[in-house]
A and B are shown apart, each in its own frame.
Chain A
Amino acid sequence: GEDVEQSLFLSVREGDSSVINCTYTDSSSTYLYWYKQEPGAGLQLLTYIFSNMDMKQDQRLTVLLNKKDKHLSLRIADTQSGDSAIYFCAEKGAGNMLTFGGGTRLMVKP
Chain B
Amino acid sequence: DGGITQSPKYLFRKEGQNVTLSCEQNLNHDAMYWYRQDPGQGLRLIYYSQIVNDFQKGDIAEGYSVSREKKESFPLTVTSAQKNPTAFYLCASILKGHQNTEAFFGQGTRLTVV
Say yes or no: is A95 at the interface (Cβ < 8 Å to chain B): yes
Q: Which of B40, B45, B106, B108 contacts A40 (CB 8 A)?
A: B108
* Chain B interface residues (CB < 8 Å from chain A): 6, 31, 33, 35, 40-43, 45, 48, 50, 88, 90, 92, 94, 96, 101-108, 110
Do residues B48 and A42 form an inter-chain contact, with CB atoms below 8 A?
Answer: no
Near B by CB (< 8 A), chain A positions 90-106 give 90, 92, 95-98, 100-103, 105
Shortest Cβ distance from B90 into A: residue: A42
Residues of A within 8 A of B6 (CB): 42
- Stretch of A11-19, A43-51, A60-68, A71-79 with 4 or more beta carbons under 8 angstroms from chain B: A43-51
Q: Specify which of A8, A33, A95 is in contact with B103 (CB 8 Å cutoff).
A: A33
A-B residue pairs in contact (CB < 8 Å), sample of 23: A33-B102, A33-B103, A40-B108, A41-B108, A42-B106, A42-B108, A43-B43, A43-B90, A43-B103, A44-B105, A45-B102, A45-B104, A48-B102, A88-B43, A96-B31, A96-B94, A96-B96, A97-B48, A98-B92, A98-B94, A100-B42, A100-B43, A103-B42
> In the complex, which residues 1-23 of chain A have their Cβ closer than 8 Å to any Cβ of chain B?
8
Q: Which residue of A lies closest to B4 (CB)?
A: A42
